[in-house]
Amino acid sequence: MDWENKGYRAKEKNMNKATLVVMAAGIGSRFGGGIKQLEPVGPNGEIIMDYSIYDAMEAGFDKVVFVIRKDLEKDFKEGTVHGKNLANKQRAVFIDRDGTINKYVGFLTDIEDFELIDGVTDAIKKINSSGYLAIVVTNQPVVARGEVSFSELDQIHNKMETLLGKEGAYLDAIYYCPHHPHKGYEGEVEELKIDCECRKPKPGMLLKAARDFNIDLTRSWMIGDGENDIKAGNAAGCRTILIGDSNFGQDISAQNLYDAVNKCMDISEAKV
């Protein structure tokens, strides 16, 4: 399957409900036509608006389907739409990729080996509905090792977003570090073999996301299955959750991403 041209992705890739409100308000000027509105078909009375390939060409999609929920008025009244304005400080859940979102297979170089862990989609949907941003931060030294190209990594991430999007979940952003500090191996990409500031356990990816999305890191979480995830989260000033039984200085431990999200949301709600 070609994961490069699938229309499930948000923001022009992943679109949260707040964005859809704006889209609906400016639909004529934004897409200029080719709109077909169907009857509500979803279990919660969703209305599907289907945009033609002509309207989606700029985004590179063969087809784009936006789902506009009946409860958008509720989002306005409860401040969800206003809260997503980046002029306001945001909260985020930063999520490791391998072993946290997808099954760990070592260095993932074959897109066919990418498989979501059970419960991940529901976990990310819970983040989406909470007002937190869902942001992936992942070390991908396979690029520096010459085992995966940037284009191939993009396709792996397209597959991840498509699998999530099919079930109604989305990621607000994906940050990855393609570097690796150790040189001298056959096939490596020499210019990527550097001691960078973005590779976890350094907090560079989280700090960049904080600048890009106006995130309050002290009110955000880092979730991962390894020591480097916890160190990066702590260095950035986030609260941290380890998936596993080890002690790396995390605030909380959890069994999996779904368990971790439930725990951090319970704590966050208790502090409101």
The neighbour count for residue 271, using CB atoms within 10 Å, is 7
Active site annotation includes 98: yes
The token pair at 245 is 């039984």
Among 261, 260, 204, 194, smallest CA distance to 228 is for 204
- β-partners of residue 224 are 242
Pairwise CA distance, residues 156 & 177, whole Å: 15
Chain center to CA of 150: 18
| Residues 177 and 229: beta-carbon distance below 8 Å | no
| Residues 105 and 90: beta-carbon distance below 8 Å | no
| Burial of residue 245, with CB atoms counted within 10 A of its CB: 0-12 exposed, 13-18 middle, 19 or more buried | exposed
Among 144, 158, 150, smallest CA distance to 114 is for 158
In the DSSP assignment, the letter for residue 70 is T
Catalytic residue among 55, 75, 98, 225: 98
Active site annotation includes 229: no
Catalytic residue among 55, 62, 71, 96: 96
Provide the annotated active-site residues. Answer: 96, 98
